[in-house]
Amino acid sequence: MNEIRVFAPATVANVGSGFDVLGFALSDIGDMITVRKTDDLGLHIKNIEGADNLPLDCKKNVSTVAAQALLDSYNNTLDYGFEFELVKKVSAGSGMGSSASSSAAAVMAVNELLGRPYSKTELVVFAMQGESLASGTPHADNVAPSLLGGFTLIQSYDPLRIIPLHYPKDLVATVVHPHIEVKTSDSKRILRQHIPLKTAITQWANLGGLIAGLAQENYELIGHSLKDVVAEPTRSMLIPLYEQVKEMAHKNGALGCNISGSGPSMFMLSQSLDTAHKLADELRVMYSNEQLDCDVYVSKINPDGAILL
Amino acid sequence: MNEIRVFAPATVANVGSGFDVLGFALSDIGDMITVRKTDDLGLHIKNIEGADNLPLDCKKNVSTVAAQALLDSYNNTLDYGFEFELVKKVSAGSGMGSSASSSAAAVMAVNELLGRPYSKTELVVFAMQGESLASGTPHADNVAPSLLGGFTLIQSYDPLRIIPLHYPKDLVATVVHPHIEVKTSDSKRILRQHIPLKTAITQWANLGGLIAGLAQENYELIGHSLKDVVAEPTRSMLIPLYEQVKEMAHKNGALGCNISGSGPSMFMLSQSLDTAHKLADELRVMYSNEQLDCDVYVSKINPDGAILL
């Protein structure tokens, strides 16, 4: 095999009370990477479609940095190199795991071309190096669901422990990406580094309820438990129409609504596609009324994660 | 029906990473209460067996305070009163939910004599008034599992939301109560009221893993996820042989080991009765070698909670 094409989905991290530990994968929306073996040794980016300002320099692009981490670990001398073509559908800075999609797709593709020396779970640690380049921290809460699909809990980093969670198959996400820029670094800066013990207890009681709700397929419990008392109160201030969107979501049957990643995207969970589409329609109207551009996605939870095309 | 006898089990609260929110019920060990209707109006405590220093004054005993909370809510004029006889098997101050057992048994018994106007779940709020008397806080993390059985998550107090959790039926607890006094107030005082966000995230990642582990019946995950980074590091210092017990538990096949309630009792979880009994034997030897008295219990998780006898 000399050429391979991989799709890796966009993801929602910081899922409400699962701040910094919980993520899930979306369907259809994501990045595609074609990787082919070349006579030139090393890594080369031939083309990037769908994004203007991403570097072609392999040391500065998350996909090749992630791929290089894999090759460094693989540590076999190769008599060929790899050429990358990226088709990006997830906007950088959207809060939908743009860098994670590219990193996940890249390591999955190179792994296949090498004859699959690593499992998907083992690939997470390489994709994390792409995240490290993108945000300064090798976090896994987007790359894990992008590779593995479903809902994943990152329990710890040392050692890296990824817990795939059970969830109801009918769950649907509506995600809106208002076209404004929120820098992850800004979004991090406005979080307090110490929190009241009481607040922390509320958060973990809610996360406990969320994971129990997913496991028990109890939609009321899922919705109630999304409540985030740590990041949302401050981060939501950076997102236009945040409170109005939450109110609309509540009125229109969403189980819950929260920030996707560190924003500005927001996600809503619903029990049916009908509700999810209704929310999407309302979102388009709301942002359009404010002359704000946005992208809106309706997506079942993606059970597969990154796949070969 | 003029007389009823109820058993309500001892409980383990603050289950590792489930600090302040998670509890489970033990089997066999617990308090028994006999309540009978009397011509004298109001509440009366006739006798308390198994504890020397508990008050017979109905305004000062957790069982009658809890029962009175129920009667206040019921708010029907009764032409009879209630006489209580308590048989206590759970030592006050043990960290095994002694006051909760009495409170739970009392409200269950009175509820039956009234013709069961309340569900077991509704009784929790009354039993909490006994906890309020005992510790100054109307917490539910012991009374909920004592009434309902199994593992329960207290998600919030306003409104009171109790989430019964799925758990593997083979799970066995070994609990040791070393005979030293740790006052709940001391145990509370040594907790920091603000914690680093990073510590909080570690805790909720672990609680997430614990609830997923219980739901998935994944014993390795349960054991790994019990780790408590908030309360155990300081509270364990008040418990004799704490580190040695943990090491012994680990060596002898326990899934995990932590403080029961606010101590001084400790609990260990195991996958089999054999392991649980082996741990119990080792515990007896360890404390005996130090000339410390202790009680040791081996118990499957109690699925039923409080029951009529």
Higher pLDDT among residues B210 and B136, named by residue: B210
- Report how far residue B67's alpha carbon sits from residue B62's, in angstroms, rounded to the nearest whole number: 8
| pLDDT higher than 80, residue B76 | yes
Residues of A in contact with B194 (CB under 8 A): 194-197
Fold classified for B3-165:
Ribosomal Protein S5; domain 2 (3.30.230)
**The predicted structure's pLDDT at residue A1:** 81
Least confident of A184-193, A238-247, B152-161: A184-193
Candidates A135, A165, A173; CA nearest to A283 is A173
Candidates A207, A156, A163; CA nearest to A14 is A207
- Per DSSP, the three-state class of A115 is coil
**The predicted structure's pLDDT at residue B11:** 98
CB A24 within 8 A of CB A173: yes
**Is-above-0.90 flag for pTM?**
yes
CB A256 within 8 A of CB A16: yes
Q: Which of A17, A212, A221 sits opposite B215 (nearest CB)?
A: A212
Reported residue count of chain B is: 309
| pLDDT higher than 70, residue B184 | no
Confidence class for position B74, pLDDT limits 50, 70, 90? very high
* Partner A, chain B 248-287, Cβ-Cβ below 8 Å: none
**The predicted structure's pLDDT at residue B136:** 87
Residues of A in contact with B197 (CB under 8 A): 191-195, 230
If you average pLDDT over residues B66-71, what whole number do you get?
Answer: 98
- Taking an 8 Å cut-off on Cβ atoms, the answer to whether B216 and A166 are in contact is yes
- B143 CB-near residues (< 8 Å, 6+ apart): B97, B100, B103, B104, B124, B127, B128, B130, B131
If you average pLDDT over residues A43-72, what whole number do you get?
Answer: 95
Residue B273, number of CB atoms within 10 A of its CB: 14
CB B280 within 8 A of CB B174: yes
- Are A3-165+304-308 and A172-300 the same fold in CATH? no
CA distances from A217 to A197, A223, B256 (A): 29, 11, 28
Tell whether B114 is within 8 A of chain A (Cβ): no
Confidence class for position A136, pLDDT limits 50, 70, 90? confident
| Widest distance between CA atoms in chain A | 60
Fold classified for A3-165+304-308:
Ribosomal Protein S5; domain 2 (3.30.230)
CB B276 within 8 A of CB B21: no
Minimum Cα–Cα distance from B162: chain A residue: A209
Across all residues in chain B, what is the average pLDDT? 96
pLDDT, tens digit (0-9, with 9 covering 90-100), for B101-125? 999 999 999 999 999 999 999 999 9
Check: complex ipTM more than 0.85: yes
Residue A52, number of CB atoms within 10 A of its CB: 7
Helix or strand holding residue A187 (H, E)? helix A184-189
- A294 CB-near residues (< 8 Å, 6+ apart): A176, A177, A178, A179, A283, A284, A287
Minimum Cα–Cα distance from A193: chain B residue: B197
Look-up of token digits 């920030």 = A259
Residue of B155, B195, B229 for testing the chain A interface, max A β-carbons within 10 Å: B155
pLDDT, tens digit (0-9, with 9 covering 90-100), for B228-260? 999 999 999 999 999 999 999 999 999 999 999
**The predicted structure's pLDDT at residue B189:** 79
| Count of CB pairs separated by less than 8 Å, A with B | 124
Where are any strands of DSSP class E within B76-224? 81-87, 151-157, 160-165, 172-178, 194-196
DSSP string, A294-305: EEEEEEEB-SS-
**The predicted structure's pLDDT at residue B147:** 98
Query: Residue B178, preceding bond cis, omega within 30 degrees?
Result: no
- Determine phi and psi for B27, rounding to 5 degrees: -100, 155
Tell whether B14 is within 8 A of chain A (Cβ): no
**The predicted structure's pLDDT at residue A184:** 66
**The predicted structure's pLDDT at residue A52:** 83
CA distances from B85 to A93, A209, A260, B63, B93 (A): 66, 38, 56, 10, 21
Active site residue A202: no
Residues of A in contact with B209 (CB under 8 A): 153, 155, 161, 163
The CATH number of domain A172-300 is 3.30.70.890: yes
Residue type for position B16? G
- Report how far residue A79's alpha carbon sits from residue A82's, in angstroms, rounded to the nearest whole number: 11
If you average pLDDT over residues A268-279, what whole number do you get?
Answer: 98
CB B27 within 8 A of CB B301: yes
Active site residue B64: no
CB A278 within 8 A of CB A253: yes
- Report how far residue A210's alpha carbon sits from residue B31's, in angstroms, rounded to the nearest whole number: 33
**Shortest Cα–Cα distance, A135 to chain B (Å):** 17
Reported residue count of chain A is: 309
Tell whether A221 is within 8 A of chain B (Cβ): yes
- A76 CB-near residues (< 8 Å, 6+ apart): none
Enumerate the domain spans of chain A: 3-165+304-308, 172-300
- Report how far residue A197's alpha carbon sits from residue A209's, in angstroms, rounded to the nearest whole number: 18
| pLDDT higher than 80, residue B188 | no
**The predicted structure's pLDDT at residue B187:** 74
Q: Which of A21, A201, A208 sits opposite B211 (nearest CB)?
A: A208
- Taking an 8 Å cut-off on Cβ atoms, the answer to whether B153 and A20 are in contact is no
